[in-house]
A = this chain, B = another copy of it.
Amino acid sequence: MDKSADGGIGVVGALVRAAFLVDAVYAEAAREHGLTPQQGQLLCVLMGRSYVMGELGGLLRLAKSSLTGLVDRSERNGLVRRESCEADARAVRVALTAEGAVLAERFHAETCRRIDGLPAGLSAAEREVLAGLLGRVVLDNEAPPVFGEPG
């Protein structure tokens, strides 16, 4: 947990500060697309497929009422649509509108581009090692797929 002997940073500090960095990049990219980070995240999740409110709440770790508001605002902005769920009349399915899909695509691509620039100082091999280790941390802790990658 402490700084390692070679003067570098410990895992904990590295993780926290990297998260801070990613958040800042994410927020800036969102802002330039007229989105809040939360709305951007919602769009990115919905890029893959549509979800029912309950599922979305789990993925984004939001209380029910918080999600209702987020979807309300996104719907008002024409990015998202509420559909009735075939399997359960109580549930509400949330999907991207055409406009939302376009914006999601643009926001996602640009954000990828910028996040990808963060480890610019690393060699290709180092980036792969980083991706591998961080990927294991993500999987081990079951971080939800809040940001699907292209492909």
A interface residues with partner B (beta carbon < 8 Å) = 1-4, 8-24, 26, 61, 111-113, 115-116, 118-122, 126-141, 143-151
Contacts and interface: CB of A to CB of B under 8 A. Distances in A.
A10 to B, nearest CB: 5
A132 to B, nearest CB: 6
A34 to B, nearest CB: 18
B150 A2 contact: yes
Nearest to A128: B4
Contacts of A136: 121-122
B135 A122 contact: no
A132 B126 CA distance: 10
Nearest to A137: B119
B131 A11 contact: yes
Contacts of A10: 131, 149
A145 B115 CA distance: 19
Nearest to A132: B8
